[in-house]
Structures are given as C-alpha cells and as structure tokens.
Amino acid sequence: MAETPTRPAAESHALAQRRHIPLSVYVHLPWCVRKCPYCDFNSHRLPDTLPEQAYVDALLADWQLARQDDPRPIDTVFFGGGTPSLFTAESIERILAALDRGPGLADACEITLEANPGATEHSRFADLRAAGVNRLSLGIQSLDNACLAALGRIHDADEALAAIDSAGAAGFERLNCDLMFGLPGQTLARAMHDLETVLACDPGHLSYYQLTLEPNTPFYKRPPPLPGDDVVADIFDAATERLAAAGYDQYEVSAWTRPGHGCRHNDNYWRFGDYLGIGAGAHGKCTAEDGRIVRTARQRWPTGYMQAAGRPVSITETRVLTEADARFECLLGALRRRQGLSRDDYEYRTGLSWAELLDNLGGARSNGLIDADDARLAASDRGWYYLDSILAELVPDSAD
C-alpha cells in the first residue's frame, strides 16, 4: 500500500513551485519637493534637510528582515516614490550592493528608478547609470505648461524635454515617459500635441493613463474643471491609433512599448509574481516555503519607519491570501495584460486548479468578455473595455 505523503514532501513540492516564480524588489523613497494635488501615493514634502543617510541605513536594516534567506536571485528592482532621484547615486549604489550580497541580482537584472524632470536632477543621471540603474522612468505628465501648472508640477515643458535628452546622454537605453490625459482644461488637440511631442523623442516605453480623482487628495476635495467623458474617450481612441501607428504595442491597459522595452518589473506585478518591498509604506507579496501567499505592508510615516526598520514592529500588516483572494488578485493584474494569463503562470503562482478557474469565469466567458482555452485566457477585444465588470463577478466573499 502506498504511503501517505509526509509534510516534508509537500513542502518540497511547494518549494519546487516557488522556483518558477520570479522575485522582484521594490524600494520606496518617500520624499518629493512638493506634493502634487492629484497624488495619493505615500509621498511626503521634502524636509529642510533630507535624512538620506539615516533613511538608507533603515532600508538596509529592513532588507535583512525582508529577504528571509530567500534563495531566488532578484530579477528586477524598482526605486519608486516620492522622487527617488532626490537621492544621490552613492545611496542608490549602496542599496544595490546590499541586494546583490544576498540573495543577489540576476545577471540581466532590470533596475528602474523614477525621476522628476526638474533641471536640478539631470546632473545625477550619468552617476545613477554608473551606479547600476539601467532603466529610467521620467514623470513627464504633460508638455503643456498650463496643464503642468494645473497639476502642481514643479517642472515645465522645456525641462521635461531636457530631461529626456539628459537621460539619453547619460547612457540610458531603456527609458519610460509617464504621460497623463484628461487633464484640467485639456482638449483633444492639446492632448495629441503632448503625445506627438513625446513620440518625437522616441522613448522605448510610454505609460499613458487618465488623470483620476483619488480619495484623500486635494483634487478629490476640490475637483478642477476636467474634460467631459466624450472628450476623454476621443483622446484615448486617437492616442491608441497613433501609438499603434508609431510601432508601440499596448501590452497592458496603460502601458505601451517598442519591442524589447517592456517593463519587466511591472509585468511581474501583473503576472502575480513575488516581490519584496522595503521602505516607508512599502508593500510586498511573497510565496512562502509551504506554498502560502503572504502580503505585507511597512509603516507609512518615514520617521516612524526609520525608528522601527529591521524589527518586526515595522511590519504593520501581514495577510495570508485565501484561495478566493489568490484567484481574484491574480486575475486583477493578468486581465490588464493583452496576453492575459497562461495556465502555467496561474497554477505555479497560485497553486490552484486551471479548470476550477475557468468554471468561476463562466459568466464572463458566455458573455464574450473572456477568451479562454486549456492553455491561456485573456480579455476579449470587447472585454478589454469591461474589466471592472469581469472582476466584479470574482470579488471574494468577505466571509470567505
């Protein structure tokens, strides 16, 4: 008679599964020169003196807590904020050196840093490239000075264009430009002028997304005059057509790329990969050795974070996902991708059954919103416009 599998055998299976899941690291640097009125990120106005050394010390202590001897090499690193380019290249290099000591950066590790187009930071681009950053993400947002002023940005159009030039001169072959539409006072013509001007700079990647009024922001409390829904739809349709004609592939709802320039870090989020988060308010999601999927969050306020970093008290949330949570959260990102979700990704990254997933999507499939077979599922051309409706069917029961 066959023996009942022992727990170590089950754990070995979970560990084998985990090896198929890429590991990323998110590093949060929380300060900005000024907080934008539309921003709901965990960012804070720059103090009179940036506590750079103390904060980096805290990050390194936090890293020792976060890594937990995970043997997988780090596939991507993302420095987000805030405005990470306020930090010196020496600090960025110090953080990367700590990540490389354990578990180590993969040979082709993608290392992205968000930067503000403010002129005072351009001089750091070459040093950041030398420190190991190989992908730069510029928060352009608009090239219309009236729109930039309405958004509370501290740069103007000339500084944004100069930043793009500086990134190229510094040796960045992988560049993303963030561009927003649906801005205060924006017309179709003004939005397309923004897009054409950015395309003339030929970045490899473009994040193109609509301004939304998020709760707990000044814009939400005192909304600016925004273009109507019809104008916003016209902008998006015209931009979609123009970007496709320019050779960009819309591989995610708000992400456009030339071949070979997609953001691997964000794609790992959308594909329900694992990532360790360090820094004030940073979130993480990781598959444990026993197969459980665990989400964590750090203390949000920088001062409190620096005092607690490296100790368990710095972790303010630890949540083990239920099967329903894992199914929903996996689809939440995957359905944003044009390629959708492969069976292998789903089963390795959730430990759940593909057949059961397809059963749960019965309504969306019968309504023509999802295309699915034994190997892959994705939103249909029609379903691409109804992602919220698809996901609403799958929201986990709070009692689950």
Does residue 370 share a domain with residue 264? Answer: no
Which pLDDT tens digit goes with each residue over 39-78?
A: 999 999 999 999 999 999 999 999 999 998 788 999 999 9
Does residue 229 share a domain with residue 138? Answer: yes
Residue 171: both structure tokens together: 């040796």
Where on the phi/psi map is residue 156: left (φ > 0), alpha (ψ -120 to 50), or beta?
Answer: beta
Q: Is the pLDDT of residue 400 over 50?
A: no
Q: Alpha-carbon distance 262 to 141, whole Å? A: 19
Is 314 within the bounds of a domain? no
Domains in the chain: how many in total?
Answer: 2
**What pLDDT band is residue 386 in, cutting at 50, 70 and 90?**
confident
Instruction: Please state the rounded mean pLDDT for residues 5-10.
Output: 42
pLDDT at position 7 is 38
Q: Is the pLDDT of residue 380 over 60?
A: yes
More confident call, 215 vs 122 = 215
Domain extent, residue 236, equals 21-268
Boundary residue ending a domain (222, 246, 268): 268
Q: How many CB atoms lie within 10 A of CB 47?
A: 10
Is 292 within the bounds of a domain? no
Does residue 162 share a domain with residue 78? Answer: yes
Is 369 within the bounds of a domain? yes
Cβ–Cβ under 8 Å, residues 27 and 78: yes
Boundary residue ending a domain (227, 243, 268): 268
Is 290 within the bounds of a domain? no
pLDDT at position 8 is 41
| % residues pLDDT > 90 (the chain) | 82
Which pLDDT tens digit goes with each residue over 297-350?
A: 999 999 999 999 999 999 999 999 999 999 999 999 999 999 999 999 999 999
pLDDT at position 395 is 75
Q: Is the pLDDT of residue 399 over 90?
A: no
More confident call, 290 vs 252 = 252
Boundary residue ending a domain (246, 268, 290): 268
Does residue 206 share a domain with residue 82? Answer: yes
**What pLDDT band is residue 119 in, cutting at 50, 70 and 90?**
low
pLDDT at position 241 is 97
Q: How many CB atoms lie within 10 A of CB 323?
A: 15
Q: How many CB atoms lie within 10 A of CB 222?
A: 9
Does residue 263 share a domain with residue 152? Answer: yes
Q: Is the pLDDT of residue 289 over 70?
A: yes
Distance of CA 249 to the CA centre of its chain: 18
pLDDT at position 68 is 81
The secondary element (H helix, E strand) that includes residue 97 is: helix 89-101
pLDDT at position 120 is 62
pLDDT at position 397 is 66
Q: Is the pLDDT of residue 356 over 50?
A: yes
Residue 231: both structure tokens together: 């104008």
Cβ–Cβ under 8 Å, residues 107 and 138: no
Is 370 within the bounds of a domain? yes
> Among residues 74, 138, 160, 58, which one has the least CA distance to residue 111?
74
Does residue 243 share a domain with residue 143? Answer: yes
Does residue 362 share a domain with residue 231? Answer: no
Q: Is the pLDDT of residue 9 over 70?
A: no
Q: Is the pLDDT of residue 234 over 50?
A: yes
Q: Is the pLDDT of residue 107 over 60?
A: yes
Tokens 């992908």, residue located: 135
Instruction: Please state the rounded mean pLDDT for residues 351-380.
Output: 91
Does residue 341 share a domain with residue 213? Answer: no
Is 187 within the bounds of a domain? yes
Does residue 350 share a domain with residue 264? Answer: no
- Give me the CATH number covering residue 73: 3.20.20.70
pLDDT at position 394 is 76
Residue 248: both structure tokens together: 């960009």
Is 15 within the bounds of a domain? no
Does residue 218 share a domain with residue 342? Answer: no
Does residue 263 share a domain with residue 122? Answer: yes
Length of the chain: 400
pLDDT at position 363 is 84
Is 275 within the bounds of a domain? no
* Strands of 283-287's sheet in order across: 249-252, 255-257, 205-210, 175-181, 135-141, 105-115, 74-81, 23-29, 274-278, 283-287, 293-298, 315-320
Average pLDDT, the chain: 92
Does residue 172 share a domain with residue 29? Answer: yes
